[in-house]
């Protein structure tokens, strides 16, 4: 039994914290919301320098060959300072390419180095507990995932891909797009160059300026079929859930630190507000959710290597808890700070905006909770 971080993992985390501390990411987030589109720092060179783009690519292809948990540690550090590093889109895409024996080694090397950047076109894998399939049922309501499946036609190897994807993380500026398409009724991995004919990426900014998003439209775009196994196509989706969970929990950490510090120094009726049970208990509730989320990141990290059949359960549970924890942390941050916490003067609204948008990306938090139920019902 050993769930402690290795020396290398501690170093990875500390190095990430150090590298990101050189940027005023929170100030930039506020400026960008004010309409200064140049305000957001380009953090990709920092990511390249640190070796993050190749975290999940095998060493034989020029990557670091590390595990999902290592990537979660980096995303957690990004979340701590609301840094917009394009890893949420890039890393899941690299896992599909890495698992495809026919993927170009030059491309993998360029992606590992960060010379080129990938974006993952999110497609929810089927939930066997309700008998749906890849092409199935665009579900509605709380469990909605407004995500299309691309359609391909043509000879295996070279195909054309059509479909549209909304709010794709890190799509603007990506060199390659990687996702899932139905080919002759079978799901396959596809790779499309973003400068190919029929590809349109419309940059969208929505509520949280730290998050780069794009609507991607493919109209008979030429692409390549990747012979990655279906487990890899599904795995990319679940990995994305775990990564956004880790990022959210990083934001919870700082929100809790800032709010706890304030509760110790702000006095009312002659005593620090943190001494009141009402305030103390709301902060311990954030801590409770944070600790639960951390435990689930360990579960996700361990299971992806040690028990792959449990990874969908673990990753979606982490997403379910992590997203709700960030909402709770942001609302508590605002409430404990009082009126100032709800103004532009304070950082709390930046965490709040991050929470509200993050919860609705990549299929949404409710869909992750639904998936947890599905995985448990399936094995019941």
Partner 1 sequence: MDLDDTPEQAAYRAQVRAWLNEHSPEAPILEGVDAISDEDELLSARRAWQGKLAEGGLAGVTWPKEYGGQGLGPIEQVICNQEIGKAHVPGILDAIGVGMLGPTIIAHGSDAQKSRYLGPMLHGDEVWCQLFSEPAAGSDLAAVQARARLNDDGSWRLSGQKVWTTNAQFASYGLLLARTDADVPKHKGLTMFIVPMDAPGVTVRGLRQISGEAEFNEVFFDDVALDGDAVVGGVGNGWGTALTTLMFERVTIGLGGEALGYNSDRFARAIAADEHARRDPEVRHKLGEIASELLAVRFTGYRTLTALQQGQIPGPEAGLAKVTIVNGAIKAGDLIADVLGPDALGPDSEWAYMISFLPGLKSAGGTEEILRNTVGERVLGLPPEPRLDKGIPFSELRSKEGSAA
Give dist(CA 153, CA 128) in Å, integer. Answer: 26
Residue whose CB is less far from partner 1, 60 or 275: 275
Residue whose CB is less far from partner 1, 47 or 245: 245
Tell me the closest approach of the beta carbon of residue 272 to partner 1, in angstroms: 5
Tell me the closest approach of the beta carbon of residue 263 to partner 1, in angstroms: 6
CA dihedral 107, 112, 115, 121 (to 10 degrees): 70
Instruction: Report CA torsion sign: 77, 81, 87, 91.
Output: positive
Q: Which residues of this chain interact with partner 1, rule CB under 8 A?
A: 1-4, 6, 69, 129-130, 139, 141-143, 256, 260, 263-264, 271-272, 274-277, 279-281, 283-285, 287-288, 291-296, 298-299, 301-302, 306, 313-314, 316-318, 320-321, 324, 366, 368-374, 376-377, 379-380
Tell me the closest approach of the beta carbon of residue 231 to partner 1, in angstroms: 21
Tell me the closest approach of the beta carbon of residue 316 to partner 1, in angstroms: 8
Residue 312 contacts by C-beta under 8 Å, 6 or more apart in sequence? 125, 234, 238, 371, 375
Burial state string for 227-236 with b = 16 or more CB within 10 A and e = fewer than 16? ebeeebbbbb
Pairing mode of beta strands 150-153, 176-183: parallel
Residue whose CB is less far from partner 1, 206 or 288: 288
Give dist(CA 88, CA 278) in Å, integer. Answer: 36
Residue 148 contacts by C-beta under 8 Å, 6 or more apart in sequence? 123, 138, 163, 164, 165
What is the H or E stretch that residue 110 is in?
Answer: helix 105-113
Residue whose CB is less far from partner 1, 340 or 376: 376
Tell me the closest approach of the beta carbon of residue 352 to partner 1, in angstroms: 21
Tell me the closest approach of the beta carbon of residue 50 to partner 1, in angstroms: 21
Residue whose CB is less far from partner 1, 2 or 184: 2
Pairing mode of beta strands 213-226, 267-268: unpaired
Residue whose CB is less far from partner 1, 14 or 291: 291
């Amino acid at each position: 039994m050993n769930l402690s971080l290795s020396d290398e993992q501690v170093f990875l985390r500390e190095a990430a914290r150090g590298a990101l501390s050189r940027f005023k990411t929170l100030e930039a987030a506020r400026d960008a919301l004010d309409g200064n589109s140049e305000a957001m720092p380009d953090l990709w060179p920092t990511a390249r320098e640190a070796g993050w783009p190749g975290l999940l690519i095998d060493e034989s292809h020029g990557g670091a060959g590390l595990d999902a948990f290592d990537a979660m540690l980096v995303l957690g550090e990004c979340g701590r300072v609301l840094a917009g590093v394009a890893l949420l889109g890039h890393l899941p895409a690299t896992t599909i390419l890495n698992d495809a024996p026919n993927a170009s080694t030059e491309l993998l090397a360029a992606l590992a180095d960060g010379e080129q950047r990938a974006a993952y076109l999110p497609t929810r894998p089927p939930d066997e507990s309700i008998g749906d399939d890849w092409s199935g049922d665009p579900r509605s309501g709380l469990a909605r995932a407004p995500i299309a499946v691309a359609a391909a036609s043509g000879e295996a190897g070279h195909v054309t891909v059509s479909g549209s994807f909304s709010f794709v993380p890190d799509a603007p500026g990506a060199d390659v797009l990687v996702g899932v398409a139905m080919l002759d009724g079978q799901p396959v991995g596809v790779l499309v160059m973003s400068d190919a004919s029929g590809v349109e990426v419309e940059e969208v900014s929505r509520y949280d300026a730290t998050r780069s998003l794009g609507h991607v439209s493919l109209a008979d775009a030429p692409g390549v079929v990747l012979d990655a196994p279906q487990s890899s196509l599904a795995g990319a989706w679940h990995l994305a859930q775990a990564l956004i969970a880790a990022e959210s929990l990083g934001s919870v950490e700082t929100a809790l630190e800032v709010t706890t510090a304030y509760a110790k120094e702000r006095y009312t009726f002659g005593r620090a507000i943190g001494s009141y049970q009402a305030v103390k208990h709301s902060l311990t509730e954030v801590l409770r959710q944070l600790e639960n989320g951390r435990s689930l990141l360990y579960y996700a990290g361990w299971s992806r290597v040690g028990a792959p059949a449990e990874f969908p359960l673990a990753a979606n549970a982490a997403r379910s808890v992590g997203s709700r924890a960030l909402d709770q942390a942001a609302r508590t941050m605002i409430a404990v700070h009082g009126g100032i916490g709800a103004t532009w003067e304070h950082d709390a609204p930046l965490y709040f905006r991050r929470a509200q948008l993050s919860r609705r990306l990549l299929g949404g938090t409710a869909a992750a909770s639904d998936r947890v139920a599905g995985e448990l019902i399936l094995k019941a």
